[in-house]
A and B are shown apart, each in its own frame.
Chain A
Amino acid sequence: MLKELEELQKQADAELLVSKTEEEFLALRTKYLGRKGLLTGFLRNLGNIEPEKRPLVGNHCNEIKNAITEKLDDALKAIAGLKQDDELLRDRIDVTLPGRKIRVGKLHPIIQVSRDICEIFEALGFSIVEGPEIELDYYNFEALNIPKNHPARDMQDTFYIEDNIVLRTHTSPVQIRVMEKQRPPVRILSPGRVYRPDSDISHTPMFHQIEGLLVDKSITFGDLKGVLTSFLKQLFGEGTALRFRPSFFPFTEPSAEVDIRCVMCSGAGCRVCSQTGWLEILGSGMVDPEVFKNVDYDPEDVSGFAFGLGLERIAMLKFGISDIRLFFENDQRFLEQF
């Protein structure tokens, strides 16, 4: 009996394999599972077997029945699915036609860069503050250790409103305004517009800077390096090589210019980095004791560092823009790209 059953199963499997159409599968169903089907007949004849063998054969018989049923069902379902697809395909659309977009506006590239930088420093505990764009000479220069007729004034041409009122030439006056109001510790970042009378392919009379200041007990030049390294690696990528080299700013000492490996030539030397392999990214330094005295901080008690960077320069490097004036022409075709 069992042998016959196995034969039956093999036969059924073989026939299932060669069947393709719905009709063929339906015929198989009748042949094996129908009222007069082979398997049905088998089950009907169970009564003829010895009673002790009956459960075994019965079980086996049912297993085979289930297996065949399942295979038949699957096959029929697949065929039905294909049939439905055929019908749906008659309703096909051209998926290559443009979508109905709700146009999303673009943020100005300078704003994007500013936002990225602010986010990095906010995570480091810096608060964003603002300062006036039209400044007193005192805040823009004097308090930053740049007295009248100091050679350092040559570094920055200035727009004047009155003798003692200027369009700020940098965001550094915000340092003074914050320290005048707040006792240490201080961690601030101040983005904004600054102005210098200059206009050519790499200068516009208005541009953007970000100023940073950190003052606390026992802040070191090593901390300056740490914070700025972490910042630049976040901004330009973990693998960015950088160097700190001595420089001069009247309101910091020691001062450091921070360069990154040229992003265009990876250090081989090119037009962008004037063959040096390095790109100047930001100016920084330990806050000069004179500046602390001007805001009534005790330089023996606290120390700190400040830094500043030009946003246009960063945006130009990040996006490969060679003419700074494009930022302020607001040509839709330019803005659309960011």
Chain B
Amino acid sequence: MLASLKWLKEYVEIRISPAELVDKLTMVGLEVESMRERSPSFRNIVVAKILSVKHHPQADKCFLCEVTTGDTTYPVVCGAGNIRSGNVVPFAKVGAVIPGGYTIRSSKIRGEISEGMLCSEEELGIGDDSTGIMILPGNLPIGKDLSEALDLTDVVLDIAITPNRSDCLSIIGIAREIAAITGSNFRYPDINVTENDEDIKKITSVHILDPDLCPRYSARIIKNVAIGPSPLWMRQRLEAVGLRAINNIVDVTNYVMMELGQPLHAFDFRFLEEGRIVVRRPLSGETFVSLDEKERILETDTLMICDGVKPVAIAGIMGGLNSEVKEDTETILLESAYFDPISTRKSSKWLGMNTDAAFRFGRGVDPEGVVNASARAAQLMAEISGGTVCKGCIDEYPQKVKKAKDIPLRVKRVNDILGTDIKDAEIVKILKSLNMKICEDTNGHYRATPPTYRVDIEREIDLIEEVARFHGYDRIPVTLPPGSSVTVTKDHKEIVRKRLREILQGSGYSEIITFSFISPGSLDMLGLPAGDDRRKIVKIRNPLTEDQSVMRTTLVSNLLETMKKNANAGCFDLKVFEIGRVFFHQREGELPKDKNMFGCLISGMLDNNIWLSKTSTDFYDLKGCVENIFDGLKILNGEFRSDYRETFLHPGKSCGIYVDKRCIGFLGEVHPDVLLKMDLKNKVYVSEIDMELLADCFTGDVCYKELPRFPSVVRDVAFVVGEDLEADKMLNIARDMGKELLEKVSVFDVYSGKSITQGNKSVGLRFIYRAPERTLTDDEVSQVHSGIVKHIVDLTGAKIRGEGN
């Protein structure tokens, strides 16, 4: 809401500086978002008097004038014919700047010297009149700066009005708040209609057929208006608050709306068939052309203002083309009404028409301000358009609008909520300053009746808020709540997330955050089969773009997208992870299922330290990361199985991740087809793990094992096996067999190439033997060890390398 300081001063005295006012308004909840000075864009233009006017000897259409600024007289050549000797006019002296940046110079026009220029309204940018020189009131001081003389500078505040404060969507609304803040008197505008003898009831009538949507409708008739531009003062005010001047009738409706907050509409009476107003819901299929020249089919609950035959306006939203005020309009029917806020909002939304009127009706106007506003507008129309106001005002008010009355207020409650010690007297004073009626029941118990324009005040808490606003939030003491008996709980999942982040950060992965929505096409890109759970997508009805139109069911597409973006920016080495939710459609009307997932991606070179050696990342780097997670979360029975398949992973370089035989995710190299489709050159490795399942596996328990007191015996063996044999198979055989003395068995080397027959590989295993309570003898170890090795050989067909293979 834009508010002109000059306009505000009509109703309330403002003695503080604009900056102070901005601060005070903001601190009572009328947040001033900006303040700007409005001044004309001319300089050095003064009030001057024309001493004489005569025809230019060489030019028919020009005049030679002598003008005075009091101390000096200047010769001026002027082309406008409306000037007379004795006129007071705006005079641009040599050196003056008029709007557009044009500087006035001394010149010779057809042989006659001209020391300046007389200006029209339009040339000064303070009006639309370009037909002649602007004639100023004769009482202006000659020689004075025009901007000062006409009081053309103003300060305009842009105030953010919260949705509850519809009463502040007007100049008087803001003036009332200023009066309450500063204690100055508030002056309601003088409303004083001069009526003629013609009774309005004989001219027109109003029938409200749907009082639920239109509880109140008033009409006035103004006759013999002459349509034309409004006076300068009105145009300036409208422009200051961001409205365009149109004509003296429409301008008055806008002016009064801005002044009092009541939207009005002026109909050209001659276009109202049967000369009457009917307020009703539309007939089925009824169409209507509004002022914006668009034809609309009306919805059942869109309230219409009609004449005896057809709709002429959408109630509270916009007038119709068929009844608009035209240049030759003579008789006006002026509407001032109260429309149901909810219905106005619905219609305005449905029609996509958010007009100033709809905005105000939608938030609730003062139901008791309807008739006053009508009178105010009638008065102004008569004043500036020369019309006469017919006697009386039709005021149909079939349904009283609910108004809050006698709201109980307990002083103790005020202080209990605010943590203050505000006394009765201050509370009463504050509420009275806001025009509430207060009566005291018993000690500390009051009843307050808010003014009708405060539609937001209905409950005790609303009154408490008013007390808080005007007592001052800054005066409320700062305290801390008493110690609470509630125990702080740490969500198990949150703990896992935190651990996970630590582990990944330590492993060199950076966290990313991507949008939870994806393009539906990205699931095709991954080649997910039709029956896949991840095809149960949740669609957004009103997405911003197709690319963001469904909720993701996997983090993989976003991880790849991130890879792609970075590659495009020239960064091919990436180690990133994301923790976020995925969503699965369930049934219509049911909330989708969501779960937290962890995803990570690695690609490019392991180290970007240029002078050290570089290696390309591969499957095992990513697997190591997942193993780190297992270590960090103390998950002992993690397993990686090659029989797991994902359409978007390389079938020979991917695996399922299992804990206790339950699949919790996957990892692997991205399928070359997917990389090709995404135009990614380097190999990319991704993993995705279900966070909830991972959290289930995490207990947080650490069980310390006594450090060994006796030495271990280490034996290394290289087995030559078929290249398809998985190392896990050999390790499991060893573990199954050597339960007692075998402390650990692990792969220490994998080799294929020279000296290994084709189709085979050599896998070196390291066996560590130890007994907890004694030193093992060589014989003892050899016995167990050879048993294990033999078993591996027997079960896998392996050969021992170096044993005559």
Contacts and interface: CB of A to CB of B under 8 A. Distances in A.
Interface in A144-159: 149-152, 154-155, 159
B342 interface: yes
B31 to A, nearest CB: 7
Contacts of A164: 589
B300 interface: no
B500 to A, nearest CB: 11
Nearest to A245: B27
A185 B484 contact: yes
B284 interface: no
A289 B459 contact: yes
B609 interface: yes
Interface stretch (A7-15, A62-70, A81-89, A102-110): A102-110
Contacts of B162: 247-248
A223 B510 CA distance: 39
Contacts of B481: 214, 216, 219, 223, 226-227
Given A134-B594, A226-B480, A331-B565, A185 B514 contact: no
Given A105-B507, A167-B540, A185-B484, A221 B419 contact: yes
27 contacts: A97-B611, A105-B507, A105-B575, A106-B511, A108-B512, A110-B513, A122-B488, A125-B486, A134-B538, A151-B164, A193-B581, A205-B515, A205-B544, A205-B548, A206-B515, A216-B484, A219-B481, A221-B418, A223-B479, A226-B479, A227-B481, A244-B476, A245-B26, A247-B29, A247-B162, A248-B29, A254-B468
Interface in B26-64: 26-29, 31-34
Nearest to B160: A247
B416 A220 contact: yes
Interface in B553-600: 562, 565-566, 569, 571, 574-577, 580-581, 583, 588-589, 591-592, 594
Interface stretch (A16-24, A31-39, A44-52, A322-330): A322-330
Interface string B500-528: 01001111111111111100000000000
Contacts of B490: 127-128
A151 B544 CA distance: 23
Nearest to A198: B544
B611 A132 contact: no
Contact of B461 (A130, A204, A289): A289
Contacts of A223: 419, 479-481
Contacts of B474: 243-244
A254 B591 contact: no
A49 B489 CA distance: 89
Number of chain B interface residues as a range = 35 or more
The 9 closest A-B pairs by CB, nearest first: A222-B419, A220-B419, A246-B29, A248-B162, A151-B163, A330-B512, A254-B465, A222-B479, A223-B481
Contacts, number: 252
Nearest to B513: A108
A140 to B, nearest CB: 11
Contact of A100 (B418, B477, B609): B609
Given A162-B588, A223-B419, 12 more contacts: A106-B510, A108-B510, A134-B583, A151-B362, A187-B484, A197-B543, A221-B468, A222-B418, A244-B474, A276-B33, A288-B461, A335-B510
B390 to A, nearest CB: 36
Contacts of B538: 134, 161
B751 interface: no
A136 interface: yes
Given A205-B517, A230-B480, A336 B419 contact: no
B562 A159 contact: no
B345 interface: yes
Contact of B592 (A98, A110, A161, A221): A161
A104 B506 contact: yes
A225 B484 contact: no
Contacts of B464: 253-254
A165 B363 CA distance: 26
B479 A161 contact: no
A289 B458 CA distance: 12
Contacts of A104: 505-506, 508
A111 interface: yes
B270 interface: no
Interface string B159-180: 0001111000000000000000
B551 interface: yes
Contacts of A257: 31
Nearest to A118: B494
B413 to A, nearest CB: 9
A234 interface: no
A286 B507 contact: no
B540 to A, nearest CB: 5
B92 to A, nearest CB: 33
A101 to B, nearest CB: 7
Given A185-B486, A205-B544, A254 B469 contact: yes
Interface string B252-266: 000000000000000
A92 B609 CA distance: 22
Contacts of B540: 159-161, 167
Nearest to B540: A159
B542 interface: yes
Interface in A118-147: 122, 125-130, 132-136
A266 interface: no
A275 interface: yes
A332 interface: yes
Contact of A220 (B418, B513, B542): B418
A304 to B, nearest CB: 9
Nearest to B489: A127
B478 interface: yes
A303 interface: yes
A262 interface: no
Contacts of A186: 486
Interface string A165-209: 101000000000000000001110000010101010000111000
B185 interface: no
B491 A130 contact: yes
Nearest to B570: A333
B400 interface: no
B612 interface: yes
A274 interface: yes
Given A246-B468, A248-B164, A128 B505 contact: no
A150 B465 CA distance: 20
A218 interface: yes
Nearest to B33: A274
A303 B482 CA distance: 13
Contacts of B426: none
Interface in B142-163: 162-163
A127 B488 contact: yes
Nearest to B29: A246
A248 B516 contact: no
Nearest to A274: B34
Contacts of B569: 331-333
B589 A162 contact: yes
Nearest to A329: B565
A106 B346 CA distance: 48
A336 B362 CA distance: 49
Contacts of B511: 105-108, 111, 335
B626 to A, nearest CB: 15
* B416, B468, B510, B562 interface centre (most CB from chain A within 10 Å): B510
Nearest to A112: B511
B547 to A, nearest CB: 11
Contacts of A254: 417-418, 461, 464-465, 468-469
Contact of B478 (A187, A199, A225): A225
Contacts of A102: 508
Interface in B369-407: none
A161 B541 contact: yes
Interface in A294-338: 303, 327-333, 335-336
A206 B583 CA distance: 15
A178 to B, nearest CB: 11
